[in-house]
Amino acid sequence: MDPSPSTPDAPIPKLGWIGLGSMGQAMALNLQTHLSHTNSPPLHIYNRTAARGQPLLAIGAISSSSIQALLQAVDICFIAVSDSNAVTSIINTILEVPAADLHQKIIVDTSTIAPGTSAWAQGCLRERGASFVAAPVFGASPIAKEGKLLVILAGADKAVKAVEPFLVGVLARKTLYLGEDAAKASLLKTTGNFLTAGFMELIAEAHVFAEKTGLGSDALESLVEHQYGPLPFAMSKRLTGGFYLPKRDERPWSDLNLAVKDVGLGVECAEKVGTRLPVADLVLSHLEEARRYGEVNGRALDSSSMYGVLRERAGLGFESEVVRRRDGGDGGLSGL
């Protein structure tokens, strides 16, 4: 059953969306599809590159000329952008909306940002009579397309309740609510990114070990599937399927540059409280090495591309056999 966007006595809220990268576009498409199916008002969208909005306009969304124009037309506005700087810029632009037009609006940020940025945004918007809900998501773009993300929520209870009908069954498989402090959601997302990156590093190392010893990837992947569960298995398939090094004309499932930013956030948060994340330091060094490889070879890389770095260090070559076959043997890629 589709979640109900309102009670019989309450008007259906008008929704907006800012940011149409790989994740944002996938989530916005699911949301507009849901709004169409429930005869709700269409989604208002804004993105700096207007062409990214074409798939949404084709299914009924409405384009806004500016962030301010979008805010004045909606009750709830979702944000999906790349980093804290982008969120800060958008919030500052939102704060330029006249106070009377901003009153009781709800801003929902799905981005992965520093906890301090979430706390700042929540405080600034509260002063203007608006609400901020931190709602960072777990899942790469294929999971976003399926509407099966895990959403971490933090914000005022009333605002969260207003947003929830548009999450589970639309964008997400489940939500976790952490209370009113928006910074807690960003902190849990940062912690989760550290865990994810560590798991990926471990699985990548194991696959290189399996190839070098002659055990083979198939045997290892079978063990991962049946002993360690669906998340490590999905990570393993990301490597063995060649997705760590996308085709030249394809976007990565999860951009390497964002992974560097996300793991770096964990390192920074740890330093601020007087501790360290040694595994994160190791992962970050491998991601930085992969980024240099991508720059030299003009390739967009996935966040799992530490696998290629580990392969090269073991004398196997950045490209796996699966990648070479997929690309027709047209590697010609230089080393680091």
Structure-token pair, residue 217: 């990837």
* H or E segment and range at residue 106: strand 106-109
Which member of 105, 189, 237, 247 is catalytic?
A: 189
Following CA atoms 78, 104, 42, 46 in sequence, which dihedral angle do they give, to the nearest 10 degrees? -40
Q: 96 to each of 77, 107, 131, 134, how far by Cα in Å?
A: 15, 14, 15, 21
CA distances from 279 to 140, 210, 234 (A): 21, 21, 21
Verify whether residue 189 is a known catalytic residue: yes
User: What is d(CA 288, CA 291) in angstroms, rounded to the nearest whole number?
Assistant: 5
Helices (H), the chain: 22-37, 54-57, 67-73, 84-94, 99-102, 115-127, 141-146, 157-163, 182-213, 217-223, 230-240, 256-272, 278-297, 306-313, 321-326
> Beta 149-153 vs 172-177: how paired, if at all?
parallel
Contact assessment for residue 43 and residue 35, using Cβ atoms and an 8 Å cutoff: yes
Q: What are phi and psi of 211, to 5 degrees?
A: -70, -40
Cα–Cα separations (whole angstroms), residue 289 to 257, 267, 278, 284, 303: 12, 17, 17, 9, 12
Q: Which residues are catalytic?
A: 189
